[in-house]
Structures are given as C-alpha cells and as structure tokens.
A and B are shown apart, each in its own frame.
Chain A
Amino acid sequence: MISSQLPALQVVLPLVAAPLCILFHNRTFSWLLMVFVSLVSFGISCALFNQVLAENTITYAMGGWVAPWGIEYYIDKLTTYMLLIVNGIAVLVSLGARESVENEISSDRIYLFYTAFLLNLTGLLGVIITGDAFNLFVFIEIASLSSYAIISLGKDKRCLYAAFRYLVYGTIGASFILISIGLLYVVTGTLNIADLSQQLANAENTATITTAFVFFVIGIAIKAAIFPMHLWLPDAYTYSPSIVSTFLAGTTTKVFIYVLIRFIYSLYGYEFSFFHESFDNLLIIIACGAILYGSYRAIKQDSLKRLLAYSSIAQIGYMILGIALITELGLAASLIHIFNHAFIKVGLFLAVTAIIYSYGTDSIERLAGMAKTSPFTFILFLISGLSIIGVPLTSGFISKWYLIKASLEAGYWGLVVIIVFSSVLAIIYIGRVIEAAYFKPEATNTAVLNNKKMPHLLFLSLFIFSFINIYLGIETSLNVDMAFQIAHELINK
C-alpha cells in the first residue's frame, strides 16, 4: 500500500520534517532529523527507481484527483535517476554538514538553517517529480526561496547582498516562467504537462506558443545560471556557508537544466523546439560563451569557492552544448555530464568545506603549502579536480569523450576545439591550486591549521564522492546506459 503512495511521500516527507525542526529548536536534533529524512528519502527514490525499471513510467494522481484536472506526478527513467542523484547528494552532504555548519552559522540559527535546507530539498524533489506545469512553478519557488534563505546565513556579510541579488534575479526568472505557463494555459486550457504536449501539437496560435517558449527558456536560463544570465551565481556560491554552496552547486542548477530538458522534449516536443525556431544555433553560441567565459574567469580567482563557481558556469555550458547538438548522442552526452558533474562539483566543494573548516580561509594565496598539513584533503580535491579536467579513468573523461564524439558526429569541428581548449583552461585553474598547495608558501600571511580535528563524517563524505568520481570513470555502464535509454525515450516520444 505504501509503495503506491511513494511519489507523494517523496515530497511530503521532507516537507513535514521541516517544521519539526522549528518545533524542537535543537541543533543536534535538527541535524539528525535532516540525515534521517534524507536517508529515508533516498530509500524512497531507490524504490521508485526499481518500480520504474519494471513498469517504465508511473503516474500518481495527487489526492486522487485524476489528470488533467488534478495535479499529477509523472515519473519516468529520467525522473527517478535525477531523484536518486539529488537524494544521494543530500544524504552525503547532510552527513558531513554538522561541524562545518556549527563553524559557520551562528548557533542560535542552526535549527532554522536545517529547516530551510529541508524545504530546499522538498522543493527540488518536487520540481523533479511533478507532472503539472503550475505545480512545477510552485516547487521551483519553494526551492528558490529556501535557497535564498540559506545563502543569507553565511558568515561573511556579503552573503546578504548576494542572497538579495539572487532573490531579485530568481524572482524575475520565476515570474517569466509563470508568464509562460499562463500563456500556455490560454492556448490549451490545461496545465498537465503530458496533456499540454498533446494539445500543443494540435494547437494553432503559434505566436502565443512561441512567446511562451521564449519566456520559459529565459526564465529557466536565469534559474539555471546559463550564460549570460549567470550573474547571481558567483557571489551566491562564494559567500554562502560552505555546505550550502556544496549542496546548491551539486543540485540546483542540474535540476533546472532537467526542467529545461523536460520542457524542450516532453512538453514542446523535439520538432517544435528545434526545427521551428533555429533555437539550436542560439544554444550553441550560448553554450560556447558559457564554456569559454566560465573557464577563463576561473583562472584568475583567488578564492577557491569563486573559482569553483565560475567552473560551474562553464560546466553548465557543456550540458547545454550537448542539448544544442540536437542529436540523440548529443542529448545522451549532456545527460551523462549532468549526472557526472553533480558528483564532481559536490566532491570539489566538500574538499573546500573541509579546507575552510581546518584553515578558516579559502584563499589560494594564503593556503600555499597546504598539501603538507592536510595531505588527504588535498589529494581528494585533486581527484575531483582531475575529473573536471577530464583525465581518463575519471567520470569527467567519460562526459568529455561523449561530448566530443557527439560534436564530431554532428559535424561541428569548432566545438571539438572549444571543448578541448576549455579542458586546457581547466588544467590551468586546477593546476594553479595544486601548484600553490604543493609548493612551499612564499606569502607572509599563510593560513595556519587550527586545532579543530577534521570531522570524520565530513571526511567520509568527501572520500565517498572522490571514490564515486573514479568509480563512474571506470564502471560506466549504469550512467551511460541510463543516459542513452533516456535520450532515446525523450527524442522518440
């Protein structure tokens, strides 16, 4: 009986847990609750994954109201896979969160932090799982609002301004999405995504539909930090508490790109999105801009978190690039990169979290020579860093391999050059960090390892993610097969 209610539970569970944190006002309890809830949530997504493998898609009518009048949750392979990833990251990040959070957030606010964190998880899970367009908007806003809140809890007072700017940007983006949904409703009279796709195929009023499409894409681009709408991301990731950056970097942007993929392929359909609009050329240009700009800006940064933020912008460019190639191989390559990059970025940010915990700073200049005092942290950072560069036997290599293959197949030689060139840029910015850490310090204000012992759980999380990055570079069957199956399904709906 429970198994048929799982889709609802997936969202309801973290939602209900959030006010529990406020009720109990206790920071240890909040943390334990967070870990517990994310574990159960992960279990639910595993169960859903198994169900989907057996039945191919699941639909769940919320409250028993049948679609297209009621809100429906629609779960297919892509959905469950994204759920697994987000939940998995939530479990491991919350496991390692405790000491870092106590270090960076003032203790009377910690329980509030976990509340907002749980709400963020709710929002993200809801975005992934829902099959109703307006419900999508609501969950997007839940996720966004809670992320504005947790970003503003950082130590550095600039986080407040970063959170505010993110709020303004994000709300504009969400409002655009709302406009788009409204316009679609005007044309078709329905809000259910599956129903919308059918109705749109028969609809006539192409100007409205195109307008809706444009509004949606721009709105999602703002949310997913697709260049040139990325302006909120560097500040938000840099100044927020480290664990928050870790979680957001691994999930938020990926989830919104998932929404974009859903929208382009499930809702509008392959033909409309690409052949109607010459949209693909625009996307290619944007993707190249993102890749080059992000990698280039990352090179000059002194703050590790900021460097990783710009690197994220570049990586999002890769994901868009795969989509823009229009081919099935391109979409699969994009999906592979979405899956891999979530783990890579979380691995990198967790290492930075550990570094900030131990040293109190993430300035590369001040961290010179760190490799001697924290060898393991640095090695684990290096592993995830090699994955971003795309060294073989790491997951990043697999993504690059497929992206280059897809570009070659589509005949875009220039893109191959850009992908390869950006790998060189990645070598430079990761190499800077490694060089600084490996060689003796020259600066006079070098950071000193403080007395706090490295928290075991944080280290364990970090280790698991680095291990995953290598594992996914060697045992690629799950990732790659899923990606190809999903790509096939999406294109041939």
Chain B
Amino acid sequence: MTNTETRDAEEKRQETVPMVKEATVKDDGRFLFYYSFPSTSNAAVKAEQEDKNV
C-alpha cells in the first residue's frame, strides 16, 4: 500500500465513523471527552422508546 493509499483509507475511515466527540474541561482543569454515537446513543434510544410509548 502506498502512502497515498494509506492516507485515503484513513480519510475514508474518519469520514464514515458516526461518532461525535464533545470536549470539556473539569473544574480542576482535567480534560473530559463525551463520545456519542448519534443513531444508537443512550439518549437517542431513550427518546425513541418514549416516542413509541406516546
């Protein structure tokens, strides 16, 4: 695999992973990252269940 092919594969992977990262800083200065997966996040699943219950 050439460098260009490797780079292409890398870009393709990044483009297609449905993941959202939210970076925050805690009160004591430590970093904290929330990773969520829009189609299947806990919050999304709960919202879907609530919709079904209505």
Q: Do A and B bind each other?
A: no
